[in-house]
Structure 1
Amino acid sequence: MMSEVYRLAQLEDAERLLHVVYEAYVTIRELDLHWPAAHADLALIQDNIISNECYVLDVDGEIAATVTLSKGDEVKSITPFPFIKWFAVDPAYQGVGIGNKLLSWLEQTIIKEKVGAAAVTLATAEKHPWLLAMYERRGYERLHVFDFENGDGPMHLLRKIVNPIQYEAQSVEM
């Protein structure tokens, strides 16, 4: 039986996180997408830990996956809902549901219960071969399309409702 611990990343996790993110984002670099996480150095990883809520899933004492709840305002002009980014699963742990567990935990425990938000957002590139479909299978819906004119092509902002009753109540108020 493996042990799984969900927690906030600490600065001493930065080197392991750099490895996880770098290895997980190989496809992103091969597609020449200009995502900060795909090209992160140790300083950027440390800044992400300090500036945002960077969560990890430890499996048997080793960080297997990570996802960040942004404290920035990347999408505030489009939606009031929290924005997550830098989702990565170490390739050694891919394909066994670790990423699914971390996202589900984040959506329910952090977004719905701790933050109290009715929905969560994230963004991905249309030209990535499987990310858009993966997030849509997880219940994310396309909300907005934008193009930064940097060669990445269309980027999709996706939304997942994590608290339908609260979401419906807020929609009526708007």
Structure 2
Amino acid sequence: MGELYRIAAEQDAPRLQQIIYGAYEQIRELRLSWPAAHADEELIRTNIREHECYVLELDGELAATITLSKGEEAKAITELPFLKWFAVAPELQSRGVGSKLLSWVEQEVLARRIGAEAVTLATAERHPWLLAMYERKGYERYRAIDFGNGDGTMHLLRKRLQPQLQE
């Protein structure tokens, strides 16, 4: 299987909208107010233009995406690089595709290119499996926030990418 990791282009928006919409079905069912869960193609194009949106292609087909936020919403809650809009095509979930993309972004983009010591992301406490999934991938809860928007407690999770820099 040919793998290609790259930054997304605006022409990827239609397929990314399908991937994100499908992957975020449970988020909509839980009535969480995450923008990605209801993103149309124009919002996805905006995400691609304003942030660093990465994709993993498998055999020439988009399979997964994750965004390194450049926005003020992330800077308001953390000084660390902030990942968001992580999604894997529903037909490819539970096959390690998302783990490959997440690991690549953590190591190649954040640790090597940016030199980040750690990275953070957020998820909802009431989601039935996301917290546990991220904890299995080495993320640790470090801050709980309730934004008062009906989502309940959101957890910021951090993963140390270069522990030698912490010593």
TM value normalised by structure 1: 0.93
Cα displacement string for residues 42-101 of structure 1 (whole angstroms, at most 9, x for unaligned residues): 110000000000000000111100000001133434432100000000011111100000
Where does structure 1 differ by over 6 angstroms across 4 or more consecutive aligned residues?
Answer: none
Alignment of 1:1-174 (within 5 A): 2-168=1-167
Structure 2 residues not aligned, in runs of 5+: none
Provide the C-alpha distance between the structure 2 equivalents of 1:75 and 1:50, rounded to a whole number of angstroms: 16
Q: Which amino acid aligns with 1:94?
A: Q
Q: Please list every run of 5 or more consecutive structure 1 residues that lacks an aligned counterpart in the other structure.
A: 169-174
Amino acid at match of 2:81: P
Q: What value does the CA root-mean-square deviation take over the aligned residues?
A: 0.9
Provide the rounded CA distance (Å) in 2 between the counterparts of 1:52 and 1:79. Answer: 16
- Which amino acid in the other structure matches residue 92 of structure 1? E
Q: Which amino acid aligns with 1:130?
A: W
CA distance in 1, matches of 2:134, 2:112: 21
Count of aligned pairs between the two proteins: 167
- DSSP-derived class of the 2:103 partner: helix
Q: CA separation in 1, counterparts of 2:126 and 2:163?
A: 30
* Mapped partners of 1:5, 1:167: distance in 2: 32
1:81 aligned counterpart, secondary structure: coil
CA shift digits 1:100-143 (9 cap, x unpaired): 00000010000100111000000000000000000011110111
Q: Is the 8 A contact 1:56 1:65 kept in 2?
A: yes
In the alignment, the residues of structure 2 paired with residue 27 and residue 147 of structure 1 have an alpha-carbon distance, to the nearest angstrom, of 20
Aligned identity (percent) is 62
